[in-house]
Amino acid sequence: MAKCKYRTLAKEMTDIIESINNCTNEIENTSKIVQFYFYGKKIPIDVPPASKKCFEKQVKAHALAMRRLSPSKELQEACRLYPCLGAILPMTICSSSQFTNKTLVTWWGIKTSLPRKMEVLANKNYWEILLYCPDSSEISYEIDWFEKENYVNTFTFQVQSAFEIIRRENNGKSKIRTNMYQHSLPLFKEVVRKWQNDPEGHDTIPKNPATIFAKPFAPTATDYIAHAYEKVRIILRKRTYRNYEHLMILWKNYLEELIFTDVDWNESEKKFFIKQWEDNFFESSQNNTKSDEGRWDQSMAIDRIKAGKILKYFIDSFLGDPIKRKKDGDVACLLWTLIWLSQNPDSENITISKVLNFDTANISKETPSIVFDNEEVEISEGLHRLLKILRGNATEKRPHKLFRNLTKDSLEASLKKVSRDLFKSDNASVSPTAFLSFPHPLVNERLSKKQRARLRKVDPGPIAGFHRREILKELRKSSNIPI
């Protein structure tokens, strides 16, 4: 029965791969067009926009001219071989009074995109669809797993984000300068009074509290908050006056609260500001952070293309001989399962051991979902079909493991061998735990779990709502209108 099960698994997996290949070929054929993006450098307000018929003639005339007159041989050849698509980018509207000659003419600029640029996107799209593990009915232009992250990784979003970060940073620093421009001695007196009545402190409280104000960490009457903060940080770093350490920590924390009053920064931004300040007056940070190296790097999140290539390696190996390479079939299904579990932000407590111990009860019969920690996690129809084959006819009374051919050690050994065969230039191989983080868009980069989580939390806003599917619809239409 097991042999028949894995033959059936191979057939279903072959159908999924063929559907993905057909979809990718369609996208590649659709995207083999030359794209012209027209934009008005200047346009008088009293000039009506170009009609659709007029614009089509403009695109056709430009395409015909590029076949002969373009200084680029590549563009000439592309215009002869492929259809051409034209689009108008948003234009800057100016009043006609701004033009000295009063001529009602639109001065056009143009940007050109050649088919080879779209080929790169089509290849990237292939790996994204493969990671999804779709049934043939799910393969469409609506798979938008990575839609927001794709936009986050664009130059436009990064420039906008940089300007926003600079604006917030400047606003925050402006308020910090105002906050630090306060005399600190009256504030220190308040902290000393609190310190004297603090039951949690272990400091030696003198009989005469006035002696505290003569210590090097105490501010003078002319010291502002900035001076006081530097004083207390230096004394804490030197580890002198240990009998007043609790007081100094109370004073330092209170000063930090005052420094960031009304500053709209998150905790990481505040810590970064403090660290920069610390580096300035200590010349180096107190905490020497260690970089992830060696075996620890193996568990760091990998990019989509690398994850797809590893997955495809096991798929091809299994399909080459489904009976002798049952283990590779199990690995492929396991990796798909991990990708889907990591895609769900609520499944943060995933471990390799838990997934290896999946049995009949973890696969829903009716809906395409996995039962994990008593919660249902949605998966694709394609993956659900594969897992139901591994599940077989087992009942809840007599459950069996889904991945019976795998152990933790054998899985790690398989990933280690495959990742080194595929990525020989990489120093660290890929561990199964790398699949506990959702694959990211930064090619050839390894991210820690914190870095990956931070990237997924970025919200690109409503502008990312212009989905790829809308662009592809236009491309499909244009491919039927040769020029």
Instruction: Quote the pLDDT of residue 141.
Output: 56
Fill in the amino acid letter for 458: V
List, as one string, the DSSP characters of 270-294.
Answer: HHHHHHHHHHHHHSS-SS-PPPP-G
Token couple for 441: 């868009």
- Give the alpha-carbon dihedral of 83, 86, 87, 92, to 10 degrees: 160
- Of residues 150 and 405, the one with the higher pLDDT is 405
Average pLDDT over residues 392-419: 83
Instruction: Quote the pLDDT of residue 70.
Output: 85
Instruction: Quote the pLDDT of residue 340.
Output: 92
216-251 confidence digits (pLDDT tens): 888 988 889 888 888 888 888 888 888 888 888 888
Q: Please report where in the chains the tokens 């200084």 appear, as a residue.
A: 71
12-58 confidence digits (pLDDT tens): 999 999 988 888 777 777 677 788 888 766 655 555 666 778 888 88
324 pLDDT higher than 80 = yes
Instruction: Quote the pLDDT of residue 10.
Output: 92
Instruction: Quote the pLDDT of residue 315.
Output: 95
423-479 confidence digits (pLDDT tens): 875 567 899 999 999 998 888 888 888 888 878 877 776 655 555 555 555 555 554
- Of residues 1 and 130, the one with the higher pLDDT is 130
Rounded to a whole number of angstroms, the CA Rg of the chain reads 31
Inter-residue contact 456 to 438 (CB < 8 Å): yes
Q: Flag the least confident range among 271-280, 284-293, 404-413.
A: 284-293
171-213 confidence digits (pLDDT tens): 888 898 888 888 888 888 888 888 887 766 677 777 787 888 8
Q: Which domains does the chain have, with CATH numbers?
A: 1-30+114-144+296-483 (3.90.15), 174-282 (no CATH)
Inter-residue contact 109 to 76 (CB < 8 Å): no
Q: For residue 1, what pLDDT band results from cuts at 50, 70 and 90?
A: very low
Distance between CA 479 and CA 413 in Å, rounded? Answer: 47
* Averaged pLDDT of the chain: 79
Highest mean predicted confidence (pLDDT) among 26-35, 261-270, 271-280: 261-270
Token couple for 430: 């890929």
Instruction: Quote the pLDDT of residue 306.
Output: 92
Instruction: Give the whole-number percent of the chain exceeding pLDDT 90.
Output: 16
Listed in sequence order, the residues at least 6 apart from 274 whose beta carbon sits closer than 8 Å to its beta carbon are 256
- Pick the closest to residue 273 from 319, 229, 310, 215 (CA basis): 229
Highest mean predicted confidence (pLDDT) among 123-137, 259-273, 304-318: 304-318
376-397 confidence digits (pLDDT tens): 888 999 999 999 888 877 655 6
Instruction: Quote the pLDDT of residue 294.
Output: 47
Q: For residue 311, what pLDDT band results from cuts at 50, 70 and 90?
A: very high
Average pLDDT over residues 327-342: 93
Q: What is the pTM of this model?
A: 0.65
Distance between CA 385 and CA 13 in Å, rounded? Answer: 9
Long-range CB contacts (within 8 A, 24+) of 185-193: 185/219, 185/220, 185/221, 185/223, 187/225, 187/228, 187/254, 187/255, 187/258, 188/213, 188/218, 188/219, 188/228, 188/251, 191/247, 191/250, 191/251, 191/254, 192/247
Strands 93-94 and 34-44: parallel
Instruction: Quote the pLDDT of residue 296.
Output: 59
